[in-house]
């Protein structure tokens, strides 16, 4: 059972455009929602994260929008650049008491064209 | 953020053999995690490794196939045992920061022939 659904699977955006990736979850015990960026041959790198008591978080060109009632969150990349071309994973964390377990979405392959 | 290294970065192995992957962190951490990422896929948690106790395995992963050691607060190993081509994946370790964030190593790309 997939607990975090991510869309689209792939995305092509022109340089300077806005990239939008959406995620939805079902488990209301999730309490931390990070986004990871992964380049080929590399491990995932934390990009930005949000907690459910905040509806939006912005860091530079990257913004997370969070809708707790709808159990949805999204990543917006403003002024997308070719260097942003990577795979993006949303994730959600549940504190089990002994560890915070990450559940990943299926990933979105972003290509930013010139 | 923690700096994490993994060895080897990649390997090609014959079926039926075993490979041990090392994960080293530059600071002491309580929790370390091992993930598998099959080609073109997302990350799946294999197990959680807490120093001084047995690793906790996720559904579908067993200790006989993926034994884990956690001898101290900066190091862990994952062994992939009796390998088959289906084990060809990227294996990643991660560590948990106090803010619930996890930081990942660069991964070990394993190909089983």
Where residue B47 sits, what CATH number does that domain have?
2.60.40.10
**What distance in Å separates the CA atoms of residue A70 and residue B84, rounded to the nearest whole number?**
42
A46 in contact with B, Cβ within 8 Å: yes
A104 in contact with B, Cβ within 8 Å: yes
Q: Which residues of B touch A46 (CB under 8 A)?
A: 1, 101-103
Tokens of B101: 């964030």
First vs last Cα of chain A: how many Å apart? Answer: 38
Q: Which residues of A touch B42 (CB under 8 A)?
A: 89, 104-107
Q: If you ran DSSP here, which 8-state letter would residue B77 be given?
A: E
For the ranges A6-15, A89-98, B94-103, the maximum mean pLDDT occurs at A6-15
State residue A2's pLDDT score: 61
CA distance A80 to chain B (A): 23
Sheet containing strand B68-72, strands side by side = B4-7, B19-25, B75-80, B68-72
Neighbours of A43 (CB within 10 A): 22
State residue B90's pLDDT score: 97
Query: Are B42 and A104 an interchain contact pair (Cβ–Cβ within 8 Å)?
Result: yes
Hey, of B102, B106, B108, which one would you mutate to test binding to chain A, going by the most A CBs within 10 A of its CB? B102
State residue B99's pLDDT score: 74
Bridge partner list, B70: none
Tokens of A76: 């917006």
Hey, of A98, A100, A106, which one would you mutate to test binding to chain B, going by the most B CBs within 10 A of its CB? A100
Query: Are A107 and B106 an interchain contact pair (Cβ–Cβ within 8 Å)?
Result: no
User: Would the pLDDT of A23 be above 90?
Assistant: yes
CA distance A100 to chain B (A): 6
Query: Are B104 and A36 an interchain contact pair (Cβ–Cβ within 8 Å)?
Result: yes
Neighbours of B26 (CB within 10 A): 12
Query: Are B104 and A34 an interchain contact pair (Cβ–Cβ within 8 Å)?
Result: no
For A49-85, what is each residue's pLDDT tens digit? 999 999 999 999 999 999 999 999 999 999 999 999 9
| Total domains in the fold of chain B | 1
Range(s) of the domain holding residue B94: 4-112
The CATH T-level fold of domain A4-113 is Immunoglobulin-like (2.60.40)
For B51-82, what is each residue's pLDDT tens digit? 888 899 999 999 999 999 999 999 999 999 99
Tokens of B77: 């190993």
């Amino acid at each position: 059972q997939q607990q975090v659904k991510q869309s689209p699977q792939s995305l092509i955006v022109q340089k300077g455009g806005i990239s939008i990736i959406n995620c939805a979850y079902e488990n209301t015990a999730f309490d931390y929602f990070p986004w990871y960026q992964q380049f080929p041959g590399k491990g995932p790198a934390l990009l930005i994260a949000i907690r459910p008591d905040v509806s939006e978080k912005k860091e530079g060109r990257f913004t997370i929008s969070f809708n707790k009632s709808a159990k949805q969150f999204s990543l917006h990349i403003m002024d997308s650049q070719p260097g942003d071309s990577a795979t993006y994973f949303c994730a959600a964390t549940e504190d089990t008491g002994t560890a915070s377990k990450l559940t990943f979405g299926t990933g979105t392959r972003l290509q930013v064209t010139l | 953020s923690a700096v994490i290294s993994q060895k080897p970065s990649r390997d090609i192995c014959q079926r039926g053999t075993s490979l041990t992957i090392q994960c080293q962190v530059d600071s002491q951490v309580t929790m370390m995690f091992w993930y598998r990422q099959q080609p073109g896929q997302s990350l799946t948690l294999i197990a959680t490794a807490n120093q001084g106790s047995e690793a906790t395995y996720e559904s579908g992963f067993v200790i006989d196939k993926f034994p884990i050691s956690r001898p101290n607060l900066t190091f862990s190993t994952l062994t992939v045992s009796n390998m088959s081509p289906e084990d060809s994946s990227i294996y990643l370790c991660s560590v948990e920061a106090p803010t619930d964030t996890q930081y990942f190593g660069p991964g070990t790309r394993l190909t089983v022939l």
